[in-house]
C-alpha cells in the first residue's frame, strides 16, 4: 500500500457502510483512527510501509456499529463518503467521520488480505 | 591488495611511533626538563589503558567514556609534544642569538599570569521537525563532550548524551586554567560520536556510504566513500599546525569526531554570559552530526594574579594630603593588590583581616611619578594622583631607601602594565567558582525537555511497572463503572481520609503536590501497607496541571510493597478482564502517562473496610486487547480503554487517547481541550481518535 509520488494509487478496496449510533447527543461509529500526514508514520503498527501516512483503523469497539458493518482493525481508510483519506491530517479525517448531519458513512477501506485474495483469484491464470 | 597496503601502513605507523617516542625522549633529556616528559609518559600510559578498556568493555556507556579519555589523552600528548618542540627550538634559538650578539637584558616586561575559568557551557540545538518523525521512533543519540585547551592545559567536560528531546547541550563543569597569560587562546572543541550500535571503524553507516557511492557515479562515489571512512592512519585531531607526531592507534569502538570548535581570548572575557559563534565542521551526512544552532553560550571569567595576589608589600611612609610639615608622615605597611594600595597600620593586620587604615586606589586612571629628591632624606618621593569625583587627590609616598623606592616604582610600573594587558579583567575582580571536590547529587538520567514535564526517577522494572499501571487502571475503571461517577468517589475518598482511623493516616492528600517517598514495605497487616500506594508518587508533581483527577500517582516500581490491592476488591464481584503484562521498549515515556484517575488507586484504600488478605498478586492480568502495538503510550491507553466497558467509551465524544489515557475520566470540556492540545502538540505521539 505504499505509493510512488507522481503515480496514481491503486488498491483493492472494500465498501463498508456504517450506520452511526446515537448515544446521548453524540453519534458514534465505534472505532478509532490513527495516522495522518501530520503524524509520525513510523509509529503506526498496522501499516506495512512505515512511511505510509494514511488513516488506519486502530481499534474497534466490539458490537459497535463499525464492528457490525464489517470494519476490521488495521484497515486503511481510503475514502469517507467520497472524501479522500489518503492525504489528510489526522484532524481532517476525524472531522470527515464525525459530521453531525450525516448519520451514515460509507467507507472505502483496504487491507492486505484483500490484495492477497484478489491475487490468488487471479493467480490461477498466471504462472508462479 | 588493499588489505596488504593497510597492513603495511600500520606497521610503518608503529615504527614511526616508536621513533617518535625516542625522539621525544631525546628532546626531553636534552632540555633537562623531566617535567614534561613525565607528563607525556603519564598520558601515554593513560592512553594505553583507555585503548585496552575500549577493546575490553562491552557496555556502550563504558565504551563511550573510554573513547573520550582516549581522545583527551591523545590531545594532551600532542600538546605536550608541541610544547617540547617549541622549547627545544627556543633553546636552540637562544644559543644562536647568544653567540651572535650580546643581547642586553630583556626589556620586555612580561605581564602577570592569571586564572581563566570557563563555566556553564551551553550549546543550543536546532532540530528540524522532520527529526521527530525519523528513525522509526528510535532516538538518534550522540554522545558529546567538550575539550578545552589553553596553552598546555587540556581539560575535558563530562560526556552528555544528546538526542532530539534536548534543546541544548549543557555542560555543568567549571574548568579553571591556572596559568594563562593575557594573550591566551582558549580553544573549545566539541566532539561527538554517534551512539548507535554500529561501532565499526568506518562510522559512516554502510547504507549511506553505499547509497552515496552508487548515486554519485562510481569514481566520485568511491572517492567520497573513502573520504568519509576515516582511514586507519588519520589522527583524531590535528591541532592546528602541529605535525603528525604520534598517530593514534586505530582501536575498535566508538570514535569521536570534531563537530565544532571556537577560540576564545581576552576580548571574550566578561563577568556574565556571552554568546560566541561556533565553527562547525562536518555536515548532515556524517553519523556524528548534530544540528547545532551555531553558537555557544558560556561564562568566561579571568582573574589575573595582579588582582588576587599581593604584588608588592612593604613599609612606606605616606604623607597626608592636607599639606603640612614633612614630619607628618604616616608609617604604614602597604600592600599592592588589585586596584588598590592597601595601607595597614601594622603588618599583622594584613593577616588578621583587619580593615586597612586607608586605601589608595591604583587603577588605570592613576598617575604615579617620582618627584624630585627630598632635600632632607635624599630619597625620591613617589606621588600617586587619583581623580576622585572630579578632584585630584595626591598621596605622597616615600620609602626608606633608594632601592626600596626603585622597587616600588618597578612594582607600580609592572602593575600598570598588567592592567593594560588584562584590560577589562582588572576593573573588578571576577568571581570564579571552584568546582567542589564532592560529586554533586546523582544526575537525572534525562535532561529536561520541552515536551515532558515530568521525569520519572524510578525506572528499574518497566515491564512490571507497566503491567502494574494497567492493572490499576483496570481496577479503577471497573470500580468507576460500578460505582458511578468519579467526582463523588473522589470526595468519598477525601472524607473517608479523615474517617479511616489509623489506616489512612498516611494518606496525605494526593493533590499531586506532595511527592511521597516511596516505601518498600514488607507485607504487614498494619497501616503501612497503605503507603505504597502513596509511595507510588515517586516523582514530582508537575504531572498534570490540568488533570481532572487530583490524585496523580505515577508509575512506580514498588508495587511489591503493595500487598493489599485495594480493599475495594471486595466490592468488585467480577474482575474478569485480566491484563497481559506488556514489555514496552524503554522508549515508553511513562512520564506522559498522566495518572489519570489514579485516584482510583488511592480511593480504594479508603473504603474503610478491612482489607482482604487476598492479594493483588494475581494481578488482574487480562488479555483484553491482544494487539501487539509498537507504539508506546498509545498501547497503554488503548488497551486500558478497551478493557473498560465499551459503553463508557463509545460516548462519541472525541477525545484523543494518545497520551491522555482513556476517556474513563470525565474531564470538563475546557480541561479536555487543554489536554487535547497538549497531546496534539507533542510530536512524538501517534494520535488516535475515537469516532
3-state SS track over A64-127? CHHHHHCCCCCCEEEEECCEECCCCCHHHHHHHHCCCCCCEEEEEEECHHHHHHHHHHHHCCCC
Domains of chain A: residue spans and CATH = 13-124 (2.30.42.10)
Q: Tens digits of per-residue pLDDT, B409-446?
A: 888 888 888 888 888 888 888 888 776 655 544 444 44
Helix (H, G, I), strand (E, B) or coil at B478: helix
pLDDT confidence bin for A90, thresholds 50/70/90: very high
* Mean pLDDT (whole number) for B670-682: 66
Distance from CA of A16 to the nearest CA of B (A): 15
Task: Give the Cα separation of B646 and A62 in Å (integer).
Answer: 7
Asked if the C-beta of A42 comes within 8 angstroms of chain B's C-beta atoms, the answer is: yes
pLDDT category, B470, cuts 50, 70, 90? low
pLDDT in the model for residue B168: 87
Q: Is the pTM of this model over 0.80?
A: no
Question: Is A94 in Cβ contact with B689 (below 8 Å)?
Answer: yes
Asked whether B46 and B246 are in contact (CB, 8 A), the reply is no
Q: How many Cα atoms are found within 13 Å in the side-chain-facing hemisphere of B2?
A: 3
Cell numbers at B690, concatenated: 475515537
Q: How many CA atoms lie within 13 A of B122 on its CB side?
A: 12
CA-CA distance, A88 to A37, in Å (whole number)?
A: 6
- Judge residue A4's burial from the number of C-beta atoms within 10 Å of its C-beta, 0-12 exposed, 13-18 middle, 19 or more buried: exposed
What are the backbone dihedrals phi and psi of residue B112, each rounded to the nearest 5 degrees, phi first? Answer: -70, 160
pLDDT beyond 80 at B221: no
Spatial distance between the Cα atoms of A114 and B145, rounded to a whole number of angstroms = 53
Q: Please tell me the distance from the alpha carbon of residue B454 to that of residue B689, in angstroms, as a whole number.
A: 24
User: Rounded to whole angstroms, how far apart are CA atoms B543 and B393?
Assistant: 64
Q: Which of A18, A22, A45, A97 to mutate to test the interface with B (most CBs of B within 10 A)?
A: A45
Residue of chain B nearest A28, judged by CA positions: B652
Q: Is the pLDDT of residue B118 over 80?
A: yes
Once rounded to an integer, what is the mean pLDDT over residues B290-315? Answer: 86
Instruction: Give the best-scoring range by mean pLDDT among B376-380, B532-536, B570-574.
Output: B376-380
More confident residue, A119 or A37: A37
Residue A73 binned pLDDT confidence (cut-offs 50, 70, 90)? very high
- Helices B2-31, B60-100: inter-axial angle, 10-degree rounding: 50
Q: Which of residues 47-76 of A touch B (CB under 8 A)?
A: 50, 58-59, 61-64, 73
Chain A residues within 8 A of B629 when measuring between CB atoms: 45
Average pLDDT score over chain B: 64
Contact call for B691 and A42, based on CB within 8 A? no
Give the pLDDT mean for A60-71: 93
Would the pLDDT of B574 be above 80? no
B458 dihedral zone (left: phi>0; alpha: psi -120 to 50; beta): beta
Distant-in-sequence, close-in-space partners of B312: CB < 8 Å, separation ≥ 6: B335, B336, B407, B408, B411, B415
What is the average pLDDT across B519-542?
39
d(CA B478, CA B484): 10
Taking 70 as the threshold, does the pLDDT of residue B630 lie above it?
no
pLDDT of residue B90 exceeding 60: yes
Q: What is the mean pLDDT of chain A?
A: 88
b/e B275-303 (16+ beta carbons within 10 angstroms → b): eeebebebeeebbbbbebeeebebbbbbb
For B687, the closest of A26, A61, A90 (CB atoms) is A90
In this prediction, residue A92 carries a pLDDT of 93
Most confident option among A71-85, B451-465, B596-610: A71-85
Residues of A in contact with B132 (CB under 8 A): 40
On whether any CB of chain B is under 8 Å from the CB of A39, the answer is: yes
Judging contacts by C-beta atoms under 8 Å, the chain A residues touching residue B631 are: 43-45
If DSSP codes are grouped into helix, strand and coil, which group holds residue B536? coil
Amino acid at each position: 500500500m505504499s505509493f510512488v509520488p507522481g503515480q496514481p494509487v491503486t488498491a483493492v478496496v472494500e465498501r463498508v457502510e456504517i450506520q452511526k449510533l446515537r448515544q446521548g447527543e453524540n453519534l458514534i461509529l465505534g472505532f478509532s483512527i490513527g495516522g495522518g500526514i501530520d503524524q509520525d508514520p513510523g509509529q503506526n503498527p498496522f501499516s506495512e510501509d512505515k512511511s505510509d501516512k494514511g488513516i488506519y483503523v486502530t481499534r474497534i469497539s466490539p458490537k459497535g456499529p463499525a464492528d457490525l458493518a464489517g470494519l476490521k482493525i488495521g484497515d486503511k481508510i481510503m475514502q469517507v463518503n467520497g472524501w479522500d483519506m489518503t492525504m489528510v491530517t489526522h484532524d481532517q479525517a476525524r472531522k470527515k467521520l464525525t459530521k453531525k448531519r450525516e448519520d451514515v458513512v460509507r467507507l472505502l477501506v483496504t487491507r492486505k488480505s484483500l490484495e492477497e485474495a484478489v491475487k490468488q483469484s487471479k493467480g490461477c491464470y498466471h504462472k508462479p | 591488495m588493499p588489505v596488504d597496503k593497510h597492513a603495511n601502513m600500520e606497521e610503518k605507523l608503529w615504527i614511526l611511533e616508536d621513533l617518535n617516542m625516542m625522539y621525544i625522549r631525546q628532546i626531553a633529556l636534552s632540555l633537562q626538563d623531566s617535567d614534561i616528559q613525565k607528563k607525556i609518559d603519564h598520558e601515554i600510559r593513560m592512553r594505553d589503558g583507555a585503548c585496552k578498556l575500549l577493546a575490553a568493555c562491552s557496555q556502550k556507556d563504558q565504551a563511550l567514556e573510554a573513547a573520550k579519555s582516549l581522545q583527551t589523552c591523545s590531545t594532551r600528548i600532542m600538546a605536550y609534544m608541541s610544547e617540547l618542540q617549541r622549547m627545544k627550538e627556543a633553546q636552540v634559538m637562544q644559543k644562536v642569538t647568544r653567540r651572535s650578539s650580546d643581547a642586553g637584558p630583556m626589556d620586555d616586561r612580561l605581564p602577570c599570569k592569571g586564572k581563566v575559568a570557563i563555566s556553564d557551557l551551553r550549546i543550543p540545538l536546532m532540530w528540524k521537525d522532520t527529526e521527530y518523525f525519523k528513525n522509526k521512533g528510535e532516538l538518534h543519540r550522540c554522545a558529546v563532550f567538550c575539550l578545552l585547551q589553553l596553552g598546555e592545559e587540556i581539560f575535558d567536560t563530562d560526556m552528555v548524551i544528546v538526542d532530539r528531546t534536548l534543546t541544548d547541550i549543557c555542560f555543568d563543569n567549571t574548568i579553571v586554567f591556572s596559568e594563562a597569560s593575557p594573550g591566551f587562546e582558549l580553544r573549545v572543541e566539541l566532539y561527538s560520536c554517534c551512539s548507535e550500535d554500529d561501532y565499526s571503524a568506518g562510522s559512516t553507516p554502510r547504507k549511506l556510504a553505499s547509497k552515496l557511492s552508487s548515486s554519485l557515479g562510481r569514481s566520485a562515489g568511491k572517492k567520497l566513500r573513502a573520504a568519509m571512512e576515516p582511514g586507519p592512519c588519520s589522527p583524531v585531531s590535528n591541532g592546528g599546525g602541529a605535525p603528525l607526531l604520534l598517530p593514534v592507534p586505530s582501536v575498535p569502538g566508538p570514535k569521536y569526531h570534531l563537530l565544532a570548535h571556537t577560540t576564545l581570548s581576552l576580548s571574550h572575557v566578561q563577568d556574565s554570559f556571552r554568546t560566541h559563534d561556533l565553527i562547525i565542521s562536518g555536515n548532515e551526512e556524517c553519523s556524528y552530526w548534530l544540528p547545532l544552532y551555531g553558537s555557544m553560550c558560556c561564562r568566561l571569567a579571568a582573574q589575573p594574579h595582579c588582582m588576587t595576589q599581593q604584588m608588592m608589600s612593604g613599609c612606606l611612609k605616606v604623607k597626608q594630603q592636607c599639606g603640612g610639615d614633612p614630619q607628618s608622615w604616616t608609617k604604614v605597611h602597604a600592600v599592592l593588590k588589585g586596584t588598590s594600595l592597601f595601607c595597614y597600620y601594622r603588618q599583622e593586620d594584613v593577616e588578621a583581616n583587619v580593615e586597612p587604615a586607608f586605601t589608595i586606589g591604583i587603577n588605570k586612571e592613576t598617575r604615579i611619578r617620582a618627584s624630585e629628591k627630598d632635600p632632607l632624606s635624599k630619597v625620591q618621593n613617589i606621588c600617586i594622583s587619583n581623580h576622585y569625583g572630579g578632584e585630584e587627590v595626591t598621596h605622597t609616598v616615600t620609602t626608606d631607601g633608594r632601592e626600596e623606592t626603585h622597587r616600588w616604582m618597578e612594582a607600580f610600573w609592572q602593575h600598570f602594565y598588567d592592567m593594560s594587558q588584562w584590560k577589562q579583567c582588572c576593573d573588578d575582580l571576577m568571581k570564579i567558582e571552584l568546582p567542589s571536590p564532592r560529586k554533586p547529587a546523582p544526575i537525572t538520567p534525562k535532561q529536561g525537555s520541552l515536551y515532558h514535564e515530568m521525569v520519572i526517577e524510578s525506572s528499574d522494572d518497566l515491564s512490571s511497572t507497566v503491567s502494574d499501571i494497567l492493572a490499576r487502571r483496570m481496577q479503577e475503571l471497573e470500580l468507576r463503572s460500578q460505582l458511578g461517577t468519579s467526582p463523588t468517589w473522589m470526595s468519598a475518598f477525601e472524607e473517608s481520609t479523615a474517617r479511616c482511623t489509623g489506616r489512612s493516616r498516611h494518606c496525605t492528600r494526593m493533590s499531586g503536590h506532595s511527592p511521597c517517598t516511596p516505601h518498600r514495605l514488607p507485607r504487614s497487616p498494619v497501616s503501612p501497607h497503605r503507603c505504597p500506594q502513596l509511595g507510588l508518587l515517586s516523582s514530582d508533581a508537575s504531572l498534570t496541571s490540568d488533570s481532572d483527577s487530583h490524585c496523580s500517582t505515577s508509575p512506580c516500581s514498588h508495587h511489591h510493597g503493595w500487598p493489599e490491592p485495594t480493599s475495594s476488591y471486595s466490592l468488585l464481584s467480577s474482575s474478569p478482564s485480566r491484563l497481559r503484562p506488556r514489555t514496552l521498549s524503554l522508549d515508553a515515556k511513562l512520564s506522559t502517562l498522566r495518572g489519570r484517575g489514579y485516584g482510583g488507586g488511592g480511593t480504594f484504600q479508603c473504603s474503610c473496610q478491612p482489607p482482604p488478605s487476598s492479594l493483588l498478586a494475581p494481578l488482574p492480568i487480562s488479555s483484553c486487547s491482544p494487539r501487539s502495538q509498537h507504539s508506546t503510550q498509545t498501547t497503554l491507553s488503548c488497551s486500558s480503554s478497551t478493557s473498560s466497558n465499551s459503553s463508557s467509551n463509545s460516548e462519541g465524544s472525541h477525545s484523543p487517547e494518545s497520551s491522555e489515557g482513556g476517556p474513563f475520566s470525565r474531564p470538563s470540556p475546557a480541561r479536555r481541550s487543554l489536554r487535547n492540545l497538549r497531546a496534539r502538540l507533542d510530536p512524538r505521539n501517534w494520535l488516535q481518535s475515537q469516532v
